[in-house]
Copies of this chain bind each other. A is one copy, B any other.
Amino acid sequence: VIKAILFDIDDTLFPSGEFAEKARRNAIAAMVEEGLNRDVEAAYRALEKIIRKYGSNYPRHFDVLLDNLGVKENRARLIAAGVAAYHNTKSTIAPFPDVPKTLVRLRDAGYRLYAVSEGKAVKQWDKLIRLGLDFFFHGAFISEELGCRKGVRFYRIIARRLKLKPSEMVMVGDRLDKDIIPAKRAGARAIRILQGRHALKRAGRVRPDSEVRRMAEVIDAIKKLG
């Protein structure tokens, strides 16, 4: 019997990839507006490359961008413009439309709901709060606080903390490598949600218990798990 449902955050609760792209595009547009004299598309691709290389938690993406573009003048102004536009866009994140309704129904049905995510704890809570989803969950498990990334151990620790058998938990997420496979290997159930850039990846040997196209379908999928 399923007692707890774990939800990945990015591209499961909200279109993270889309917002990230919009934020980067708005940042470049603002920098050009503020005097950056470079091709928009080239600058955008350079920024993408920097974010891939340094990771999304690196605090100086825009400094490196100006280094890579060979910009020596007016740097503070351009960086301020990029950062402001980036954060303004990021602060407009909203959940997939069926998420709040689905979470409320699952709560009403007696399940305990947890957000689980890899990354910095404050940053992940910032997302939940800005999404307006913080009060739908009974709690959150973030890799930084658990001391390990989203692997088999991550899901085992969560089961232990919740005093549940792994088989009493179901993980809902978009990624095979971080959500589905390690959850299944830890003995939990797993529902794959086909959203975002990972939707096209083909499952290998370890498969989810079911696949859904949107959050609202999770309710039926969980019923079928028994």
Interface residues of A (CB under 8 A from B): 30, 34, 75-77, 79-81, 83-84, 87-88, 91, 121-126, 128-130, 134, 140, 142, 144-145
Contacts and interface: CB of A to CB of B under 8 A. Distances in A.
| Number of copies of this kind of chain in the complex | 2
A80 B34 contact: no
A15 B77 CA distance: 21
A75 B81 CA distance: 31
Contacts of A128: 80
Contact of A134 (B34, B83, B123, B142): B34
A4 B87 CA distance: 34
Contact of A142 (B30, B76, B145): B76
A83 B126 contact: yes
Interface SS of chain A: helix
B34 A79 contact: no
Contacts of A121: 75-76, 80
A214 to B, nearest CB: 27
A86 to B, nearest CB: 11
A129 B35 CA distance: 13
A139 to B, nearest CB: 9
Contacts of A84: 91, 126, 129-130
Nearest to A79: B122
A4 to B, nearest CB: 19
